Structure 1
Amino acid sequence: MPEQRNSDNRIILVTGATKSGKSEWAEHLATQAEQNAEKANVQKSVIYVATARPQLDDREWQARLDLHRQRRPHHWKTWAVESDLPSIFLGATETDCLLIDSLGTWLANVLEQDDEMWQHNLKTFLQNLRNAKSDVILVAEETGWGVVPAYPLGRLFRDRLGHLIRCVGTIADTVYLVTGGHVLNLSQLGFPLDQHLS
């Protein structure tokens, strides 16, 4: 059974497939948190944590990044974090809302880590997330619903990401799945698997 968090902050996980609208929904939730805080006369600053590496020689990839950038409000801060994602929670405060997009691109950036190093990285990430003072919205790609990748690195990525999403889901207050043009609140529709297996 996962450890209980002793904090007033909110942790939200948004998962979905490619082009499902998961990033747009996460951005909507961040905007909503900002607006709700404003109505309550509380300061709330959204910090967009971009994990994707720029690839200037890949026009299609750059177009994707530009689309995300254009969609974000100009007053949001942006932190570019390619590999050391666990440390970002240490620099955030109660008045921040971190929007991390995405866990899959972060994992791709550190996929060369051996199992021992990755397990240490994962443990640190989950511990820092659990102890975060800020609100946190995490975007993650669902990659395990298709065929088994034909090459080892693809299988490693899929397995690690699936496990990462499951671990984050046990910590999150709310988990959303975005698919088929709809948003499903899995926290209302289902129950935490790990709690029912213990």
Structure 2
Amino acid sequence: MPNHVLVTGPTRSGKSEWAEALAAQSKQPVIYIATAIASPEDMEWLQRIQQHRARRPAAWELRDCPLELAALVRDLPPNHCALVDSLGTWVANCLDQSQDQWQATVAELLASVQACAAQLILVAEEVGWGVVPASVSGRCFRDRLGALCQQLSPLMTEVYLVTAGFALPLHQWGIGLKPLRDQLDAQG
């Protein structure tokens, strides 16, 4: 199985830069999968996208994928490293899906990650550390992204929490909920 990595952290923590460094270290051709939708009316958003573009090596292949992430991940070529930045933006792009549609979308993504022949680096925002969002869409976003990261993490070889420019290897220091649940279930 290829090395799959989840990099998570708050805004401006360095998570994208950490993921980019991991991709560069892979010594494989890199496919950068951008989930953002560039809106010409939002200059601040365009500046953020430009900052990401300016950091990336010119040799990296760019694929824009605001919605159909599972299909793209499933079809990635072996002997490549793919960096998805970011899952939070992708979840936001899918907020109009019903709960049933969202569950099917997540199931398809999880299956694609498991079948992915490329090294995969996924970047995700940590959004659930603050107050409960006041809006229905804000709570939906927070809940969907948090649940998605919990479902993805057991499929990963490595999981990093990046904050204040430091990366913590959760896969080494943490105890996953799934192994703990399995252990408790086995005990009766």
User: TM-score when scaled to structure 2?
Assistant: 0.95
Paired residue for 2:142? 158
Quote the Cα distance in structure 1 between the aligned partners of 2:74 and 2:86.
18
Aligned counterparts of 1:146 and 1:64: Cα–Cα separation in 2: 23
2:79 counterpart residue number: 95
Residue aligning to 1:52: 36
Alpha-carbon shift at residue 92 of structure 1 (Å):
1.1
Q: 2:11: which partner in 1?
A: 18
- The alignment status of 1:173 with 2:157, answered yes or no, reads yes
Partners of 2:106 and 2:161 in 1: CA distance: 22
The structural deviation recorded for 1:82 is 0.6
CA distance in 1, matches of 2:21, 2:74: 24
Task: Give CA deviations for 1:35-78 in whole Å, capped at 9, x if unaligned.
Answer: xxxxxxxxx21000000000111111000000000100000000
Gaps of 5+ in 2: 183-188
- For residue 121 of structure 2, give the secondary structure of its aligned residue in structure 1: strand
Query: What is the CA deviation profile of residues 81-112 of structure 1, one whole-angstrom value per residue up to 9, with x for unaligned ones?
Result: 01000001232121111100000000111110
Offset at residue 190 of structure 1 (A): 1.2
Contact 2:7 2:161 in 1 (8 A): yes
Two-structure CA RMSD over aligned residues (Å): 0.7
Which residue in 1 is equivalent to 2:107?
123
Aligned partner of 2:23 in structure 1 is: 30
What's the offset of the Cα at 1:195?
A: 1.0
The secondary structure found in structure 2 opposite 1:20 is coil
Letter in 2 for 1:21: G
Structure 1 gap ranges (5+): 1-6, 35-43
Q: Percent identity?
A: 45
Q: Does 1:61 align with 2:45?
A: yes
Structure 1: distance between partners of 2:123 and 2:72: 15
| Separation of aligned partners in 2, 1:77 and 1:181 | 26
Cα deviation for residue 27 of structure 1 reads 0.1
- Which one-letter code corresponds to 1:18 in the other structure? T
